Amino acid sequence: MDGSTAPVLEGGCHGGRERLAEAARAAGKSAAMDRLTADYPRGPHDQPQSMCPAFGSLRVGLRMRRVATILSGSACCVYGLTFTSHFYGARRTVGYVPFNSESLVRGQLFEDIRNAVYETAKPAEYDAVVVINLCVPTASGVPLDLLPKQIDGVRIIGIDVPGFGVPTHAEAKDVLTGAMLKYARTEAERGPVARPRVLADRPTVALLGEFFPADPPGVGALLAPMGMALAPTLPCREWRDLYAALDCQVAAAAHPFYTASVRELRAAGRPVVGSAPVGVDGTEAWLDAVGSTAGVNASVVSAAKDAALPAIRAALAANPIDARITLSGYEGSELLVARLLMEAGADIPYVGTACPRTEWSEADRAWLEARGTHVQYRASLEQDLCAMRDVRPDLAIGTTPLVQKAKELGIPALYFTNMVSARPLMGAAGAGALAAIVSAQTRGAPRFARMVSFFEGVGTGDASGYGWRGKPVEPQGARERTRKLRLAKAKALESVGT
Ligand code: SF4
């Protein structure tokens, strides 16, 4: 395909996923769509119930030094993604190649992207330039694979990250991380590569996932008695970290959705273990798995466990949790957090994750289910809400819409991303980190009950009475009249089309 023709497409998050996927295949993207479907199998929800999935890829690119990130997509999508990036403190320019119907149909968009890439790829400034096709350019077949692979030594990485092919922004992180690992692996296979900034003098473990800053050093301390160290964590912060991560002895898929990245690590001959050193049971099992995979003597692994487990056990005992909790999120660490809370004493009947079931969370799933927890992969917001209503927990941990609903019901709630992911999870530091916020929230239950009774009778949704003397009353028959008008309008439009 030469990038010269493309149908004009409209639609996106809120409609037309099947149509866009078909269009992408018809426009020559079958291989890319097959890859995405295999790597990120769908679940019950149709479209992202959180932010645009491409944010995951964008964030990974923006966090890397000497890497430029350029978006190709509709202006509204790019506006939202740029806004969110800066909301999360990107402090970096988001590149954008705009298009209109004509430049898309004539193939000019591809030429514009190529020009933008040539303008950006300055070796003094960048190691790599990442171009991300959003929904419409992917569905229109804009062929990023025809971009040059490098310009004056600057690597060019083009990826398709459509909302109709990548279910969550978590998995979109993997799309770019996997693409970069593939490029770096190929470079390393061809010959010498740049020396990583920090080169460990011991065998290393490469963690997959985004963690609270205190977690990687904590994991390094757990590994030290086994004569091992931590490689740069993936997604990483600069290009040559990729070489150091690929050079690991064992890769650890602590966040279990990095399918493409695992494929590259395995292609480089690196074995991969799942789960993470969380709580007593989790840390013990993880050290065993890493030790046996790396061929560490059993007595040395035993000594490493003796060094780590008493402190974790003591931290859990000093920070008990006595609460019934439902937990849901889209970050990939939901099962690990649930394990930790349960080891501290919490009762957790339900865990929902937007991420798919993979082999790297199997141990966590089995541990939770053995203790009576229902684990829902690819959980929809509706499933999370339903579980919360059924369980009536002392505390609901979840996404923004779930927390909002919990508050309406008078259930204390915590936002997973801001409150849980912003604390350590692993080793002894993680074991003591969550109890304080859980107890602060559950202590606030009477306050929530007072709030619900205070707002009793004011109405909800479009009938909420704030600012009125009474609850607004819906004019009789208004809904039915509007429905009929809409139907008539749709029919009139249909007849124009025929
Ligand atoms: S790129 Fe993101 S915001 Fe735009 S239509 Fe696709 S999923 Fe929605």
Domains plus CATH for the chain? 17-167 (3.40.50.1980), 204-314 (3.40.50.1980), 319-453 (3.40.50.1980)
Q: Supply the pLDDT for residue 13.
A: 61
Q: What is the pLDDT of residues 68-127, one digit of tens each?
A: 999 999 999 999 999 999 988 888 899 999 998 888 888 899 999 999 999 999 999 999
Q: What spacing in Å lies between the alpha carbon of 446 and ligand 1's midpoint?
A: 41
Q: What is the pLDDT of residues 159-181, one digit of tens each?
A: 999 988 999 999 999 999 999 99
Average pLDDT over residues 340-360: 95
Atom nearest to 135 CA in ligand 1: 6
Q: What spacing in Å lies between the alpha carbon of 46 and ligand 1's midpoint?
A: 13
Which of the listed residues 9, 13, 133, 140 should we mutate to test ligand 1's pocket, taking the one with most ligand atoms within 8 A of CB?
13
Q: By alpha-carbon position, which residue is closest to atom 2 of ligand 1?
A: 52
1, 145 Cβ separation under 8 angstroms: no
| DSSP H or E segment with residue 285 | helix 279-294
262, 356 Cβ separation under 8 angstroms: no
Q: Both tokens of residue 490?
A: 């749709």
Dihedral angle sign, alpha carbons of residues 289, 292, 297, 298? positive
The CB of 178 under 6 Å from ligand 1? The reply is no
Q: Which pLDDT band, with edges at 50, 70 and 90, does 45 fall under? A: low
Q: What spacing in Å lies between the alpha carbon of 232 and ligand 1's midpoint?
A: 31
Rounded distance between C-alpha atoms, residue 205 and residue 226, angstroms: 11
The CB of 222 under 6 Å from ligand 1? The reply is no
| DSSP H or E segment with residue 374 | strand 374-376
The CB of 24 under 6 Å from ligand 1? The reply is no
Residues 6+ apart with CB under 8 A from 96: 70, 71, 72, 78, 82
Q: Both tokens of residue 428?
A: 């002894």
The CB of 161 under 6 Å from ligand 1? The reply is no
The CB of 77 under 6 Å from ligand 1? The reply is yes
Nearest to residue 404, comparing CAs of 394, 414, 395, 391?
A: 414
- Alpha helices by DSSP H, listed for 25-160, are 30-39, 54-62, 75-87, 101-105, 108-120, 135-139
Q: What spacing in Å lies between the alpha carbon of 376 and ligand 1's midpoint?
A: 25
**In the predicted model, what is the mean pLDDT of the chain?**
90
The CB of 58 under 6 Å from ligand 1? The reply is no
Q: By alpha-carbon position, which residue is closest to atom 3 of ligand 1?
A: 77
Q: By alpha-carbon position, which residue is closest to atom 8 of ligand 1?
A: 13
Q: What is the pLDDT of residues 486-495, one digit of tens each?
A: 999 888 877 6
Q: What is the pLDDT of residues 372-420, one digit of tens each?
A: 999 999 999 999 999 999 999 999 999 999 999 999 899 999 998 877 8
The CB of 265 under 6 Å from ligand 1? The reply is no
